[in-house]
Amino acid sequence: MSQVAASAPGKLYIAGEYAVVEPGHPAILVAVDRFVTVSVDFAPQLHPADDAGGRIFSDRYPSGSRDYARASGRIVPENGELDYVISALATVDELRAAEGIDPRAFDLHITSTLDEADGRKYGLGSSGAVAVATVDAAAQACGLELDRRDIFQAALLATIAVSPNASGGDIAASTYGGWVRYVSPDRAVLRQQAAEHGAAWTLRHGEWGSCEVLPLGAPAGLDLHVGWTGAPASTNALVAHVRRGDSRAADEYARFLAANSTSVEALTAAWTRDPGRVCEGIGEVRRQLRRLGEAAGAELETPLLATLCEVAEEHGAAAKFAGAGGGDCGVALAGPGVDAAAMRSAWERAGVRALDLRPTEPTTTGGV
């Protein structure tokens, strides 16, 4: 029977996608009520714990499970490449060793409600959620006390060991819950420091610089609505395409970064007191993203995402695509004067599935 478990929510970007990939740039995200849950089963001690590994059970693995092992005192994949779960386990194990806590052998069981039952993805940030839930569950299993900041930082270090360009926005939302403003650190520096000094040293002494997670609370007088296009998007491919170095795209990207920072700051200032300005800000962010996509020659706002936004705007809401675009989801913020049921019905008629997603409660009122 599982003795320890942890869950982490999925996320959606409200503003700041693409820009947040660059260190020091802000974004606003919301954690939503779909979760990854990681449960721990303690393995019988058949051999010394220093040499013990375990098994990870998840339907995301083709065989349904994957083994991890210990080599020279470190957790490593039994075979194949490092993934987010094993990287999170290895990071927590480094923190455990630094605290002088004896190792324990255990298996993990991972379940998720972030995607469709048939495996189709909504784009809710499964990699970030599984990293956060794994760090939390593994730390509990080891008897290691981590606060929210520790969990966020450990999950980010684990994630960038696998995906160096990951912004960490999904990890911030999955760790803190609710609505958050996030500013990204320099992950290249943190990755180098972790490689040179280890995760425990980097957690306490690394150059976290501009990194910030600020719980915002719900936007005043506005409700979240989410529509799904049914088409998957490749975040890494789209980000790489947008950031490529040809002159027109580079010039627009620089303008976009500056404009995005201004917009996110304006949204933050208006967030809890001026719903009209928040809606205007969402419209401006949508226009910035469209210009960025046009300059880069990338279809960020697909025809169906454009329809989602136009339908929402016709009903008096503010809307944009969420995350990398190219498919997945769009979000709308609607005030009390919006007939939300009519808007969602219009989405459905246009081929957009209205999802039953709600913001989660924040896990803490503090931030990084």
Q: Do residue 10 and residue 157 come from a single domain?
A: yes
pLDDT at residue 89 greater than cutoff 80: yes
**Total count of domains within the chain:** 2
Q: With 50 as the cut, is the pLDDT of residue 46 above it?
A: no
pTM of the model: 0.92
Q: Is residue 361 part of a domain?
A: no
Residue 244, token pair as written in the block: 């490529």
Where on the phi/psi map is residue 71: left (φ > 0), alpha (ψ -120 to 50), or beta? beta
Length of the chain: 368
Residue 67 contacts residue 53 (beta carbons within 8 Å): yes
Q: Say which DSSP state 44 is in.
A: P
Considering the domain architecture, whether residues 171 and 277 belong to the same structural domain is answered as no
**pLDDT-based confidence at residue 167 (cuts at 50, 70, 90):** very high
The reported pLDDT for the residue numbered 53 is: 82
pLDDT of the residue at 242: 66
Q: How confident is the model at residue 184 (pLDDT cuts 50, 70, 90)?
A: very high
Query: Please, which pLDDT band fits residue 368 given cuts at 50, 70 and 90?
Result: low
Average pLDDT over every residue of 215-225 = 96
Same domain? 119 vs 176: yes
Largest CA distance in the chain: 65
Instruction: State the chain's mean pLDDT as an integer.
Output: 90
**Chosen domain end from 215, 239, 271:** 215
Tokens of 26: 């802000």
Provide the pLDDT confidence category of residue 121 given band limits of 50, 70 and 90. confident
| Short-list 318, 314, 308, CA closest to 285 | 318
At which of 185, 215, 245 does a domain end? 215
Q: Which domain holds residue 246?
A: 223-355
Same domain? 277 vs 197 = no
Same domain, 198 and 282: no
Contact at 8 Å (CB) between 47 and 319? no
| Rounded percentage of the chain residues whose pLDDT exceeds 90 | 73
pLDDT of 365 reads: 46
